Amino acid sequence: MNIDIIKDECKRQGISRIIKYDEPLNNHTSLRIGGSADIFCSPNNIEDLKKVVFISKEHNMPFRVMGNGTNLLILDGGIRGLVINLNKDFKKIEFSDKIIKVGAGVSLALLSKMALDRELSGLEFACAIPGALGGAIINNASFKGECMADVVQNVTFLTRENRIEKISKSNLNFNYRECNLKSESVIILEATLMLKKGNKEEIESKIKQNIEIRKTSQPLDKFSAGSIFKNPPGYYAGELIEKVGAKGLTRGKAEVSTRHANFIVNNGGASARDILYLIEEIEKRVTKNFGIKLEREIEIWGEP
C-alpha cells in the first residue's frame, strides 16, 4: 500500500478533510491502549463512506470499522490499512411512535436516555453499555437477560461492493454475543428498533437499578474493554478465573480486576502486550484446571 497514492486519491475524491494518517488509536479505545492506524477516516455521510470503501477496494486496502472502541484491544504495533469511524449522519435518531430509526454511530447510553424521555421501554438494559449501536448489533450486546435481538427489527448495511442492503431480524440469526453479520465484511449504517410504551417512573427505576448493579460489580472507574471472555455453557467466566487464582493478577500496569475477574484494567500506562499476557495466562490456567477453553469476547486488532 502506497500512502502517497492513497493521499492523492483521497484528494481527487474530495475527502481529504475526513482522513488522518498514522493516527494513534489509544485515545479512540476504552482501554486507552494501542498503536497507530495507517489511515483513520471519519465519514460524515453515506457519500463520503462510499468513496472511502471504493478507494479501499481499488487499492486492495483492508478496513475495519470502529465504534466507541469498547470491547477492543489494539496491539502496540498498530493497524495496517484503514480504520473507519462513523460520524455525523451516522449518529442520527428518528422517533416515530414506538419505532426508532437509529444510526450505527449512536451510543447505547444516549439512546437509552432518549427512549426514557419518550416513555419507551425496551432499552433499559443498554443504559450502561458503553458501545455504539453498530457494534452492539454485531455482538448482540446484552445485560441481565435482555439483548439487542429483543428490539432490532431490521438492519441496513453497506457491502464491500458499495451496495446498500437491508436485512430483517429473522435473517440475522442472533445468538449469544453474535449475529451472522459478524463474519461478513459489511458496514452497518442504521437499524430500526421496536420499543414498547411504558411508565416513565418504572423505566427510570429500572435504569437506575441496572446502573447501580454495574457500578457495584464492574470496575467502571478504570480503563477497561468490558468482559474479556464469553461465559462457557453452564459457567460464568469470572468465577472460573477467580477459582484458578487469577483475580488480581498483574503484568506491568495491567491487572485482572479485583472487582470482577472477567475484566482486565489499565491502571495507567499498560501496554497491549501486558493485556495479552494476562489473557493468555487466564486461558492456560482455566484449561489446565477445568479442561475448558475460554472463548474471547474482546476483539484483538493489529500487529504486536
Phi, psi angles (nearest 5°) of residue 48: -60, -45
CB 11 within 8 A of CB 46: no
227 flagged as catalytic: yes
Amino acid at 5: I
What is the enclosing helix (H) or strand (E) of 33? none
**How far is residue 149's CA from residue 140's CA, in Å, rounded to a whole number?**
6
First to last CA, the chain: 19
CB 157 within 8 A of CB 191: no
Catalytic-role residue among 227, 251, 257, 283? 227
Rg of the chain (C-alpha set): 20
Kind of pairing, strands 72-74 and 99-103?
unpaired
Catalytic-role residue among 56, 112, 124, 177? 177
What is the enclosing helix (H) or strand (E) of 202? helix 200-217
- As annotated, the active-site residues are 177, 227, 297
